[in-house]
Amino acid sequence: MFAQRLANVAGSATLKAAAEAERLRRAGFNVVDFTAGEPDFPTPHHVKAAGKAAIDANFTRYTAAAGIPELREAICTWYKVHYGIDLTPAEVLLTAGGKQALFNAALALFDPGDEVITHAPYWPTIPEQIKLVSATPVIVQTRSDEGFAVHAEAVIGAITPRTKGIIINSPCNPTGALVDEATLAPIVEAAAKRGIWIVLDLCYEQLIYDEVPHNLPKVLFDRHRDRTVIAGSASKSYAMTGWRCGWSIAPKPLTSAFNTIQGQTTSNITSITQKAALAAVSGPQDAVHVMLAEYRTRRDAIHGWLTAHPAIKCVKPKGAFYLFPDISALLSSDGLSTSADFAQALLEQEHVAVTAGEGFDAPGYLRISYATSMEQLREGATRILRFAESLRPAKAGVAR
């Protein structure tokens, strides 16, 4: 009945988990919800004020499909200041979140039969968008005992004559891992030799906890600028998920193709959002630093609490706001045998909602969003530890 392209495309595991939590909450349970894929902070005051002013000034009509020039300009300036790369507004297009930037890229670049390489554990939208355009995702696994590091040889080894693109996400949802400049460089060089596109999902670029080199745009621009797409977003950096503002940075001809796609589908992103995003990108950045500092404190706390349990192993995330613990030592063939079972039982018994690793191509793991209050984190950690202890106290070596 429906188009073939939908046959293999899955819905969002995170949204399903959040809906389950909401069902329990409405039934009157005190649910601790760790499924959020978005900041719990309000949009900064000056950004909201710019949105309100836009309404009052009747800035409520269509804009150019690619967005208003002053915001595209401001994004160029932002990338110049932060990464030292020179852009023109003709290379920037505003999208309804980073999600639409990535989907525009998939639509414009990938044909049925093309292979597109990405790394796992992944944000599920990445492979699902590849499937939506009838191309084939090729997955390179990363390992928690290596900090979920992407290895250049593994990505390059996955290239075939059918490879059309490589999608890299850093900081990564769900692992919080970063891709090193030194890892990206040989991948880009291999792609450049073969004319393969690189799509870099940088939507969490302002949520990196330590001062580490992460100038991936420069690595790309120095080597392969004419086949590079960067997806950026105001959602996570500026607590603006509901406003829907992202952008693509791509060579001019590809940006024109995105403009055609968007012009015939959604047109411009909301005019009011554009004015608010202009204030976000070009105004004071204090709120970003305050939120980052708070996420860091929360990360350290929840990481410390959970890893105190000997059966829970967890890499400390370097970016984004998710913990991705390995709970496989708590699974057993005669009890909860998968992380999906674990997440379901945790929800039913302790009313803690997490997203099971299966949704990220990582069975045996849980994704815990720490974009929630310290009180909720403390309470949720207590419940998770109690639940873990109830499962395998003897094996896990927990004193009773």
Give me the residue whose beta carbon is nearest to ligand PLP.
97
Binding mask 316-355 vs ligand PLP (x if CB under 6 A, - otherwise)? ----------------------------------------
Of 153, 166, 191, which is closest to residue 116 (Cα–Cα)?
166
CA distance 343 to 351: 10
CB 56 to ligand PLP: min, Å: 26
Judged by beta carbon, residue 241 or residue 282, the one nearer ligand PLP is: 241
**Considering only residues 241, 266, 271, 285, which one is a binding residue for ligand PLP as defined by CB under 6 A?**
241
Q: Is the torsion defined by CA of 39, 43, 44, 47 positive or negative?
A: positive
For strands 228-233 and 246-249, give the pairing.
antiparallel
What is residue 34's DSSP assignment? -
Alpha-carbon distances of 118 from 138, 201, 213, 317, 326, rounded to whole Å? 6, 11, 22, 19, 21
39 pairs with which residues across the strands?
none
Binding mask 175-214 vs ligand PLP (x if CB under 6 A, - otherwise)? --------------------------x-x-----------
Check binding of 123 to ligand PLP (CB under 6 A): yes
Check binding of 233 to ligand PLP (CB under 6 A): yes
CB 203 to ligand PLP: min, Å: 4
232 pairs with which residues across the strands?
247
CB 98 to ligand PLP: min, Å: 3
Query: Which amino acid type is present at position 28?
Result: G
Judged by beta carbon, residue 201 or residue 326, the one nearer ligand PLP is: 201
**Considering only residues 17, 31, 33, 37, which one is a binding residue for ligand PLP as defined by CB under 6 A?**
37
Cis peptide bond N-terminal to 121, omega within 30 = yes
Q: Is residue 101 a contact partner of residue 95, using CB atoms and an 8 Å limit?
A: yes
Judged by beta carbon, residue 237 or residue 328, the one nearer ligand PLP is: 237
CB 76 to ligand PLP: min, Å: 19
DSSP class per residue in 353-377: E-EEGGGGT-TTBEEEE--S-HHHH
Check binding of 137 to ligand PLP (CB under 6 A): no
- Chain residues 70-109 in contact with ligand PLP, contact rule CB under 6 A: 97-99
Of 204, 258, 197, which is closest to residue 225 (Cα–Cα)?
197
| Residues near ligand PLP (CB under 6 A) | 37, 97-99, 123, 169, 173, 201, 203, 233, 235, 241, 246
